[in-house]
Amino acid sequence: MSIQKVTPFPLVPRRRILGIGFGSFAVRAKGPGFEYFGSREMQPGDDPRRINQKMSGRHSALRDEDVVFVNEHHAERSIRVVVLIDRSPHMALYPDPWLSKPDLAAFAGQTIVASAKRVGALVGYLDFADWGIASSKNRQIFWRPPNQETESQKIKTKYLLHEHFTAPDDNIGLGLRYLLEQMYEVSQDTFVFVVSDFLLMPEKNILRQACQLWDVIPVVVQDPTWEMSFPVWDEPLLMKLLSPLFPTLLPMGNPGDSGKIVGLGQGDAVRQRRFNTEREARIRLDFKEFGLDPVWLSSPDRTKLDRAFALWASRRRG
């Protein structure tokens, strides 16, 4: 795993952020906010809602040509983002040629951090790897609250690239439960990006509490072949010709815990495909129950990965 060049996406909240602390002080950075910073000529990509009609009209009259000015504001620093990474063993099972889930998890985290920094947000990080804080009660927890601007660089260059996946299988539920105890540092309406394959969903009561407080965004990392579907030998004639040579095993396989190929019979493969597709449907229904709009990452192609985040932002805007 390495630091990758990523394309930031717009952080679109599911509801308008209000509160006493929001916009309580001005900063030099420009971005979304309420405090007026100044005006400039409109550039490609600017939001039309920021057009200053009076200034545009005056300058158009003076220049005798159409000129459009937009308002700029001081960026609000009260936006917070937390990245929760699933480090259970099944997030590191698949080596090449299968989907590399550690690489995709790191890519997703780096994209989220870059997007947060673009709007001046503070970024926090949580995982349950084996480098946790020195505490007898929570020895596996590694928590960096979103209260330091320098932390985002460490998240991208160090924390996300950690190679150990030794967390408990239910570490996502444990992570959300832990964040619920950190209300002073994880304020209401914080963006909480949960990067996981969600093969084991968190408890519904924990997920419900988290969704009531924060803007929870699941980032689902699943292999499209081995986890969202499953290969089945679909050539009847060839299967008939090969059946004397392969009476019980098909010339295909399933990656086991060690990454080695494990042969499966035709019936086993059909049952596994049915199980995987039904599990994916259950995950989508659970997300829909809590009003969650997930980002699905199932390809190593950079264009498709960037498009997945961009589509999420587009759906939020709609």
Is the domain of 62 the same as that of 206? no
Residue 3 lies in a domain: no
Residue 194 lies in a domain: yes
pLDDT at 98: 79
193 and 84 Cβ atoms separated by less than 8 Å: yes
Residue 13 lies in a domain: no
Per-residue pLDDT of the chain (318 residues; tens, 9 = 90+): 556 688 999 999 886 554 434 444 444 455 555 567 788 888 876 778 889 988 998 889 988 899 999 988 765 556 899 999 999 999 987 766 678 999 999 999 999 999 999 988 999 999 998 764 444 455 578 999 997 777 889 999 999 998 889 899 999 999 999 999 987 788 888 999 999 999 999 999 999 999 999 999 999 999 998 899 887 765 454 455 445 544 444 444 455 554 444 555 667 778 888 999 999 999 999 999 999 999 999 999 999 999 999 999 999 987
DSSP state of 74: B
Is the domain of 136 the same as that of 43? no
| Residue 31 to residue 33: CA distance in whole angstroms | 6
| Residue 222 to residue 297: CA distance in whole angstroms | 7
| Residue 108 to residue 96: CA distance in whole angstroms | 19
Q: Strand order of the sheet with strand 80-85?
A: 142-144, 122-127, 80-85, 191-196, 215-221, 295-297
Tokens 């084996």 found at: 130
Is the domain of 85 the same as that of 26? no
Is the domain of 220 the same as that of 301? yes
> Residue 85 belongs to a domain with what CATH number?
3.40.50.410
> Is residue 186 left, alpha or beta, with left meaning phi > 0 and alpha meaning psi from -120 to 50?
beta
Residue 12 lies in a domain: no
Is the domain of 71 the same as that of 135? no
Is the domain of 42 the same as that of 141? no
Is the domain of 127 the same as that of 64? no
Say if pTM beats, i.e. exceeds, 0.75. Answer: no
234, amino acid identity: D
pLDDT at 114: 95
Residue 128 lies in a domain: yes
Start-to-end CA span in the chain (Å): 35
Is the domain of 49 the same as that of 101? no
